[in-house]
Amino acid sequence: MSIRKYIGLNFVGNAWNGALVVLTTPWYISMLGMEGYGLVAFWQLLLYIFLIFDFGLGASLLKEFAAYRGSGRAAEGYRALLSTVERICLAVALLVGAAIFFAASWIASSWLRLEVLQPEETALAVRFMALSVAGQIVGSLYANGLTGLQNHGAMNLLQMLGHGLRYLGGALILYFTGDIATFFAFQGGSSLTMAYVTRGVLLRGIGDAPGQGAARGADVGRALRRYAFGMFVTALLGMLLANTDRILLSKLVATEDLGRYSLAFAGAGFLQMVVFAFYRSYFPLFSQLKAGGDLAGLRSAYYQACRLAGLFIVPAAAIGWTFSSELIVVWIGNPDPLASEIFRLLILGTACAGLMWLPAAYQQASGWTSLHSALMAAALAVGAPTAFLAIQSFGAVGGTTMMLVHGAIEITFGLWLMNRVLFPGETVRWYRQVVLLPFVTTLPVLLVSKQLMPEDLARWGLASWIAATCAVLLPCLMATYTKLPLKKAALRATETQ
């Protein structure tokens, strides 16, 4: 299967997730109110935070499975590795779930700033959240294994099913019961079920894995220890960077304002889904090419990936910045100036940081995890205290400082430091081809569209206008794509893997 199909499958999976967020978020807000939606946002925050407690084993499993494909390792090697990391991950999931379960009363009474919901009801909901978090930790491990096998079709189908249960199933539970504790009980049960199903699919996939050589399971843990630690540090810092804003907001502002921030965060998350689709498609390929010793193909595939990602990320961020207020109206049916301003700033920071995901994937596939970790540590050291002060001065909008600092450091110092080692003298070329070309193509279209847009458009009129703007922009971007020097060597390298 070609890299184009991998990207396509990951886009379909992420588009399904994004569509569910669009459809169900207004429903959740209408049924729960903004404070109730803030509790849902707190649950999503827990899912993000504790996902890193696989201690880098999920990313290691992905990388090693992809490397096994490149080196022709036998199926016994896959099973030995999975058995090693699975035992650790299950133990961690149990400990994390127990910690959240027993801290539920304290979270409800001392951490969250509730005005409508009762602490007893909230504590019960948090206890059910613990099941969902534990299920996601192990389920994510198995999903990483499927990605490492480059079984993107099965992995995306399972994630689409899981997201369908999470969003549509959860919305139906709220519709028929109106009880938020029952909603979270359903989420915990569906999370554990999907983890079990994903494990079964992974085991069948391992049985079909190619390879002839023997494998020694005793060597698996020792070989992975250093890389897993590096990926854990990267994941820990990434989690803190992505969630410090909402962690601070959950304590410093009303849960209702946390709901507004989370609404804007979910909107900016659409761009993150695009970024993740590219990362999930190319990281296994980079690892496979590296393991196979095809350095020329690896380099070509890297530049191809960055250029394609720039053609999606830069225009999407520009559209979000230009039409932030209009997009919020289209989404939830009424204007919300605070959510619009937060969304505008988050989309900018997300785009800058997102453009550096593929350079980070190249580093990780090469076994170099320290640079990305150091950059995230620097962004956290600067961004966290700045965000704390900004929230106290400007309220919820101050939380965006974290993402803005992260994006600025990544796309400036991050690229420069990486290219000094791996691609000397090519930094300006990267900016020109990945960022400047799609931005110059997009800017005139958006300026004209914004200038000509009537002031009295209602919700669906705004949606139609933005859609028409995108329709005009698309052929311009396609023409830009044909001008990019995507080398045939890169396409050949990715098509034959």
The alpha carbon of residue 288 and the mean position of all alpha carbons in its chain are separated, in whole angstroms, by 22
Q: How many whole angstroms separate alpha carbon 247 and alpha carbon 267?
A: 18
Is residue 302 within 8 Å of 358, Cβ to Cβ? yes
Write the Ramachandran bin of 269: left for phi over 0, alpha for psi from -120 to 50, otherwise beta.
alpha
For the purposes of burial, counting CB atoms within 10 Å of the CB of 187, is it exposed (0-12), middle (13-18) or buried (19 or more)? buried
Global pTM exceeds 0.85: no
Tell me how far CA of residue 85 lies from CA of 243, 331, 416, in angstroms: 26, 41, 35
Please tell me the predicted confidence (pLDDT) of residue 24.
84
Q: Residues 36, 125: contact at Cβ < 8 Å? A: no
Domain of 139, in residue numbers? 3-495
DSSP per-residue string spanning 113-133:
--SSS-HHHHHHHHHHHHHHH
pLDDT score of 115: 79
pLDDT averaged per 10 residues, the chain (length 497): 62 74 82 85 84 69 68 63 82 91 91 84 92 90 81 82 90 89 93 92 73 44 58 71 84 84 85 79 81 82 89 93 93 89 94 91 81 85 93 92 92 92 90 92 94 90 94 87 50 40
Number of folded domains that form the chain? 1
What backbone phi and psi angles, to 5 degrees, belong to 419? Answer: -70, -25
pLDDT of 486 reads 46
Residues 6+ apart with CB under 8 A from 196: none
